[in-house]
């Protein structure tokens, strides 16, 4: 079949299967095949023109990858709905035109370009039908950063780039934010997909304050990107020789480190007795977190093979995310070997922080982002041996409400609460206060900042840095860990003491992960259903109020199209908890936040018993509501499937439930396997697609443990069942 005939057949199939969206996808596909789109690889797209690739083509072309919270993020691949040199090139060209319009009187415009470590190797096997050396294999955040520099230079804009002549240099997100203001740049660009798997990449845009713009400023940026057509660029070496690409001054990195040394202010003298384990999860964090901890004198141990590695090869599930407890399993094993009772971590661009603590029984406890925020806020403001600061605390509407209690008890301090989700809204508060304007009733200075925190493991403590930074969290957590060890206490003792003093708060976050265009439609259907048919009861509790941030009477008219996506948030209030539901603007994902509040008679529980009590309540409510949301689109999951990690998408959870679970039960009942090893090997193959390129078995421990307990009460028995249950509980 000729290419023309094959293209026509594929376009007809797109239209037949997907109606109007399919016709739009076909139109974009034709445009990319024409050669008029820069970096579009028409010769590779021609290899997609077969019926078996129609669904892939639809997902790749049904839309232009959206510009979400500060930028674009998604799977690397071929097409308008993928991250690739075309997406990056058009984004950067649009940014150039935006900067020219925004700063017409500047003689010289400068930007800072950052990149993390990630590299595309097609772990998911989406492009197995292509030759192994197809053009996108090996494309990295660094190579895309070089491309961005070339385009800035081609538009007459100077780009600062870390070690321009080095092949693998990196620059973290927080240091990018710091450098923009220190260099007097008009903006910045970051090539990173943060904590996403290595097959993803992203591009985020920063303003002259080192923050991501909010509406309506981000709308002006989006409009400029849509007007961008022809990409202008200068070859990298030529631009470097002409001074249009410049190295980031190393002295400014030293200044960044020193800023945190001064903030630390000798609050605790580190001791060599208690090693501190830190892992950058194969990302950039050694250059920020690592440098500051070493400068302060903490005895730092870093797990082998967890330095910069864009494939995240040793990280379970290839999910380098401090929010995922399994991500630090190798680091915890190493910490045990080194006699270290703590693991601190950061994600690949070093803006999120993770915390794990060794328990007396040899297990490890994972702190979530809200617990970390509570520990830090209490330490900074109320701990008799801490800094005892008073000042400003900023949080989003899904951050733990216990921070308000801490601020209230500290006195002479301010709380900015209920911001929309995303650190750009925290930055907006700091920019407003920096300009000498009040934020609501708050009239302090940005220099009064004590802590800004969000649930997704992000904090800021220096007002000169306008995005999340794992560094200050790590330095104070290291200090607190060592001090508590000297006192014979643990970080978990510390946290449960906060709950005993201030109340049984807890927060559990879930994500309903879906796939492709169908997933985007499902998440939108759920939100529409909630608005059209407000639930009277949720999670077994009466809903006495629902707040819709799309309500223009309550929250003002939309100031731009870009204002609408972040305001797509619903909050439902009961006496015992607050539920917040928000869809991702760029991914087929619906996020659910369950904030448990102290209610009724105070619990008599103490310590870990109190912690278990509040977590069981919050977990149970969150799982129940997860299913209540799915019911809005006529779906549901069993308890075992709900125990799968949320990095597993809904389709694969359903496949686990309908196919894997019955097969596993039958195998145990029939005695189909002679050993636990052979059973686990079969199980690994059954669910391999759950975590592409990585061992899926750790994701199955919680659901398999639940199933074994359930089946044993239903008459299934035998040594293999017992062994499997022991494996799941281990």
Residue whose token pair is 């980031």: 248
User: Are both 703 and 623 inside the same structural domain?
Assistant: no
Burial of 324 (0-12, 13-18, 19+ CB in 10 A): buried
Report the alpha-carbon distance of residue 527 to residue 195 in Å, rounded: 26
Residue 578 located in a structural domain: yes
pLDDT of 476 reads 98
Report the alpha-carbon distance of residue 162 to residue 145 in Å, rounded: 10
pLDDT > 60? residue 621: yes
Using DSSP bridges, classify how beta strands 342-346 and 353-358 pair: parallel, antiparallel or unpaired: antiparallel
Q: Between residues 131 and 112, which one has the greater pLDDT? A: 112
**DSSP designation for 604:** -
> Each residue of 147-163: pLDDT tens digit?
999 999 999 999 999 99
Report the alpha-carbon distance of residue 191 to residue 648 in Å, rounded: 25
b (16+ CB within 10 A) / e for 419-441: bbbbbbbbbbbbbbbeeeeebee
Domain boundary among 502, 517, 552: 502
Report the alpha-carbon distance of residue 305 to residue 301 in Å, rounded: 12
- The whole-chain average pLDDT of the chain stands at 94
Mean pLDDT is lowest, of 223-227, 298-302, 344-348, for: 223-227
Report the alpha-carbon distance of residue 711 to residue 708 in Å, rounded: 5
Domain boundary among 248, 264, 298: 248
Written in H, E and C, the secondary structure of 278-324 is EECCCCCHHHCHHHHHHHHCCCEECCCCCCCCCCCCCCHHHCCCCCC
**DSSP designation for 657:** I
Q: Tell me the mean pLDDT in the region 344-353.
A: 97
Q: Tell me the mean pLDDT in the region 504-532.
A: 93
pLDDT > 80? residue 531: yes
Residue 78 located in a structural domain: no
User: Are both 270 and 394 inside the same structural domain?
Assistant: yes
Q: pLDDT band at 528, cuts 50/70/90?
A: very high
User: Are both 394 and 537 inside the same structural domain?
Assistant: no
Q: Is 529 in a helix, a strand, or coil?
A: helix
- Tell me the CA distances in angstroms from 484 to 353, 359, 594, one per residue in order: 20, 14, 30
User: Are both 270 and 326 inside the same structural domain?
Assistant: yes
pLDDT of 691 reads 83
**DSSP designation for 140:** B
Range of the domain at 33: 1-62
Residue 469 and residue 174 in contact, taking contact as beta carbons nearer than 8 Å: yes
pLDDT of 70 reads 66
CATH number at residue 528: 3.30.310.50
Q: CA quadruple 288, 289, 295, 301: dihedral positive or negative?
A: negative
pLDDT of 694 reads 80
Token pair belonging to 708 = 């074994």
Residue 507 and residue 621 in contact, taking contact as beta carbons nearer than 8 Å: no
Interior angle at CA 280, CA 274 and CA 281, nearest 5: 115
Report the alpha-carbon distance of residue 589 to residue 514 in Å, rounded: 6
Q: Tell me the mean pLDDT in the region 261-271.
A: 97
Residue 641 located in a structural domain: no
CATH number at residue 340: 3.40.120.10
Identify which of 281, 393, 384, 284 has the alpha carbon closest to the alpha carbon of residue 329.
281
pLDDT of 176 reads 98
pLDDT > 60? residue 279: yes
Could you tell me how far CA 161 lies from the centroid of its own chain?
Answer: 24
**DSSP designation for 571:** E
Report the alpha-carbon distance of residue 618 to residue 621 in Å, rounded: 5
Token pair belonging to 671 = 């005695």
pLDDT of 517 reads 81
Q: Tell me the mean pLDDT in the region 713-726.
A: 90
Q: Is 619 left (phi over 0), alpha (psi -120 to 50) or beta?
A: alpha
> Each residue of 575-610: pLDDT tens digit?
999 999 999 877 789 999 999 999 887 888 999 999
User: Are both 527 and 484 inside the same structural domain?
Assistant: no
Task: Write the DSSP assignment of 224-265 as a string of letters.
Answer: HHHH--S-----HHHHHHTTSEEEPPHHHHHHHHHHHHHHHT
User: Are both 324 and 344 inside the same structural domain?
Assistant: yes
Domain boundary among 502, 517, 551: 502
Domains of the chain: total: 5
How many helices, marked H, and strands, marked E, lie in the chain? 26, 22
Q: Terminus-to-terminus CA distance in the chain, angstroms?
A: 56
Task: Give the largest CA-CA distance in the chain.
Answer: 80
| Backbone φ and ψ of 108, nearest 5° | -130, 125
Q: Which residues pair with 74 in a beta bridge?
A: 201
Residue 73 located in a structural domain: no
Q: Tell me the mean pLDDT in the region 201-228.
A: 90
Kindly list the strands in the beta sheet with 364-367, ordered across the sheet, starting from the edge strand earlier in the chain: 300-301, 276-279, 342-346, 353-358, 364-367
pLDDT of 344 reads 98
Q: pLDDT band at 515, cuts 50/70/90?
A: confident
pLDDT of 382 reads 98
Residue 220 and residue 227 in contact, taking contact as beta carbons nearer than 8 Å: no
pLDDT > 70? residue 2: no
User: Are both 382 and 272 inside the same structural domain?
Assistant: yes
Residue 352 located in a structural domain: yes
Residue 72 located in a structural domain: no
User: Are both 107 and 232 inside the same structural domain?
Assistant: yes
pLDDT > 60? residue 292: yes
- Tell me the CA distances in angstroms from 513 to 36, 207, 625, one per residue in order: 35, 31, 15
Percent of the chain with pLDDT over 90: 87
Residue 514 located in a structural domain: yes
pLDDT of 69 reads 64
Residue whose token pair is 């920096």: 434
Q: CA quadruple 394, 396, 397, 398: dihedral positive or negative?
A: negative
Q: CA quadruple 232, 236, 239, 243: dihedral positive or negative?
A: positive
pLDDT of 39 reads 93
User: Are both 238 and 266 inside the same structural domain?
Assistant: no
Residue 74 located in a structural domain: no
User: Are both 272 and 421 inside the same structural domain?
Assistant: yes
Q: Tell me the mean pLDDT in the region 717-729.
A: 91
Q: Is 723 left (phi over 0), alpha (psi -120 to 50) or beta?
A: alpha
User: Are both 97 and 148 inside the same structural domain?
Assistant: yes
Q: Which helix (H) or strand (E) holds 115?
A: strand 110-115
User: Are both 440 and 583 inside the same structural domain?
Assistant: no
Q: Which residues contact 577 (CB under 8 A, 6 or more apart)?
A: 539, 541, 594, 595, 596, 597, 618, 621
Report the alpha-carbon distance of residue 72 to residue 548 in Å, rounded: 26
């Amino acid at each position: 079949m000729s290419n023309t005939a094959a293209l026509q057949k594929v376009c007809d199939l797109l239209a037949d299967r997907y109606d109007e969206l399919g016709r739009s996808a076909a139109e974009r596909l034709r445009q990319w095949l024409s050669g008029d789109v820069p970096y579009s690889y028409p010769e590779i797209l021609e290899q997609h023109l077969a019926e078996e690739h129609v669904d892939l083509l639809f997902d790749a072309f049904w839309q232009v990858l959206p510009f979400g919270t500060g930028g674009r993020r998604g799977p690397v691949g071929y097409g308008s709905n993928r991250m690739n040199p075309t997406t990056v090139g058009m984004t950067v060209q649009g940014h150039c035109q935006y900067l020219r319009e925004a700063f017409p009187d500047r003689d010289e415009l400068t930007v800072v370009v950052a990149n993390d470590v990630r590299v595309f190797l097609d772990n998911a096997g989406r492009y197995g039908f292509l030759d192994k050396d197809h053009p996108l294999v090996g494309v990295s955040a660094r190579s895309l950063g070089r491309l961005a520099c070339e385009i800035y230079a081609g538009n007459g804009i100077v780009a600062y780039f870390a070690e321009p002549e080095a092949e693998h240099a990196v620059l973290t997100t927080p240091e990018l934010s710091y450098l923009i203001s220190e260099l007097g740049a008009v903006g910045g660009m970051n090539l990173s997909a943060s904590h996403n798997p290595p097959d993803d990449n992203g591009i985020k845009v920063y303003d002259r304050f080192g923050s991501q713009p909010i509406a309506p400023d981000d709308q002006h940026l989006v409009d400029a990107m849509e007007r961008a057509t022809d990409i202008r660029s200068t070859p990298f070496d030529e631009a470097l020789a002409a001074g249009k690409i410049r190295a980031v001054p190393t002295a400014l990195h030293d200044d960044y480190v020193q800023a945190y040394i001064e903030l630390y202010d000798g609050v605790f003298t580190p001791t060599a007795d208690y090693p501190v384990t830190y892992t950058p999860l194969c990302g950039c964090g050694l250059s920020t977190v690592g440098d500051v901890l070493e400068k302060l004198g903490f005895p730092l141990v870093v797990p082998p093979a967890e330095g910069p590695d864009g494939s995240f090869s040793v990280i379970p599930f290839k999910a380098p995310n401090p929010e995922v407890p399994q991500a630090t399993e190798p680091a915890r094993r190493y910490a045990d070997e080194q006699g270290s009772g703590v693991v601190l971590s950061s994600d690949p661009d070093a803006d999120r922080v993770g915390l794990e603590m060794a328990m007396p029984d040899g297990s490890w406890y994972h702190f979530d982002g809200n617990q970390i925020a509570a520990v830090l806020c209490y330490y900074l403001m109320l701990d008799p041996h801490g800094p005892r600061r008073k000042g400003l605390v900023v949080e989003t509407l899904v951050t733990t409400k216990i921070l308000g209690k801490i601020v209230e008890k500290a006195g002479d301090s301010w709380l900015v609460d209920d911001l929309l989700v995303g650190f750009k809204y925290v930055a907006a508060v700091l920019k407003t206060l920096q300009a000498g304007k009040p934020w609501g009733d708050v009239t302090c200075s940005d220099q009064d900042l004590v802590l800004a925190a969000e649930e997704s493991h992000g904090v800021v403590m220096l007002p000169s840095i306008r995005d999340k930074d794992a560094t200050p969290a790590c330095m104070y957590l290291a200090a607190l860990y060592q001090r508590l060890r000297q006192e014979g206490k643990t970080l978990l003792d510390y946290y449960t003491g906060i709950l005993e003093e201030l109340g049984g708060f807890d927060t559990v976050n879930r994500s309903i992960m879906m796939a492709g265009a169908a997933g985007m439609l499902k998440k939108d259907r759920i939100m529409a259903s909630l608005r059209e048919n407000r639930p009277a009861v949720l999670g077994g509790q009466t809903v006495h109020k629902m707040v819709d941030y799309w309500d223009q009477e309550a929250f003002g008219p939309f100031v731009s199209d870009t204002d609408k996506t972040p305001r797509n948030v619903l909050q439902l209030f009961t006496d015992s908890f607050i539920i917040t539901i928000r869809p991702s603007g760029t991914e087929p994902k619906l996020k659910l936040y369950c904030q448990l509040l102290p209610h009724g008679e105070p619990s008599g529980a103490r310590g870990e018993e109190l912690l278990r009590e509040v977590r069981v309540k919050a977990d149970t409510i969150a799982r129940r509501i997860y299913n209540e949301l799915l019911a809005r689109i006529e779906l549901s999951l069993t308890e075992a499937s709900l125990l799968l990690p949320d990095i597993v998408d809904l389709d694969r959870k359903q496949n686990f439930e309908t196919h894997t679970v019955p097969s596993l039960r039958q195998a145990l009942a029939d005695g189909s396997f002679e050993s636990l090893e052979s059973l686990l090997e079969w199980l690994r193959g059954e669910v391999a697609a759950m975590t592409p390129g990585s061992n899926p078995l750790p994701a199955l421990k919680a659901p398999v443990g639940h199933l074994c307990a359930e089946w044993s009460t239903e008459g299934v028995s035998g040594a293999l069942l017992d062994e499997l249950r022991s494996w799941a509980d281990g």
